Amino acid sequence: MKKITILFSCAIVMTGAVSCSKKKKDEAGPSGNVASMLVGTKWRLTAQTINPAVDVTGDEVPDSDMFAFMPECAKDDYVVFSTGGVYQLFEGQKKCTETQEPPGNWVLYNSDKSLRVTDQDGSFEAEIVSITASELKFRYNEVMDGKNIQVTETRVKN
């Protein structure tokens, strides 16, 4: 599960609705082509925030930007979703480890608004907030320091 969280954190994915505002031509909606936008793209994490903020540094100041605390070697990692429901996490040029993570499985559900990812450590579910040809944004719930928090991640086409 640690690998999934690094994927979809420093810590992959969701339950909710796609924006109700007028959609861009390439944005997926409830009946959109979410799977085709996910598949074959290298999705690199560019932002990860938590709400409510939690003091992760011990300085008694609540922190919400978790991306800032990620090691540099993890910031260029990316995930690729393949047809057949398989995904793979890859290290970028800056390596944290030389060991390649085993592939996992993914499935869309809830009218393509949610994603479930399963790997050797278990399952992870997230709400797809928005997806375009170049950006994927999702959120999920996690427990940090005994508190329920909502994590929002943004990934871009690499």
Count of the separate structural domains present in the chain: 1
User: What pLDDT is stored for residue 16 in this prediction?
Assistant: 29
Residue 62, preceding bond cis, omega within 30 degrees? no
Instruction: Provide mean pLDDT across the span 62-86.
Output: 95
Phi, psi (deg, nearest 5) at residue 73: -70, -15
Mean pLDDT of the chain: 82
Q: Using one digit for the tens of pLDDT, what is the confidence trace for 14-70?
A: 322 233 333 444 444 433 589 999 999 999 999 999 999 998 889 999 999 999 999
Instruction: Tell me: pLDDT of 12 over 80.
Output: no
Q: How many CB atoms lie within 10 A of CB 56?
A: 18
pLDDT tier, 13 (very low <50, low <70, confident <90, very high otherwise): very low
Residue 142 pairs in a beta bridge with: 149
DSSP assignment letter at 130: E
Burial class (CB in 10 A: 0-12, 13-18, 19+), 55: exposed
Query: CATH number of the domain that 140 lies in?
Result: 2.40.128.540
User: What pLDDT is stored for residue 5 in this prediction?
Assistant: 39
Instruction: Provide mean pLDDT across the span 96-104.
Output: 90
Expressed as residue numbers, the domain containing 153 is 2-157
Q: Give just the sign of the alpha carbon dihedral 142, 143, 148, 150.
A: negative
Structure tokens at 117: 């990812």
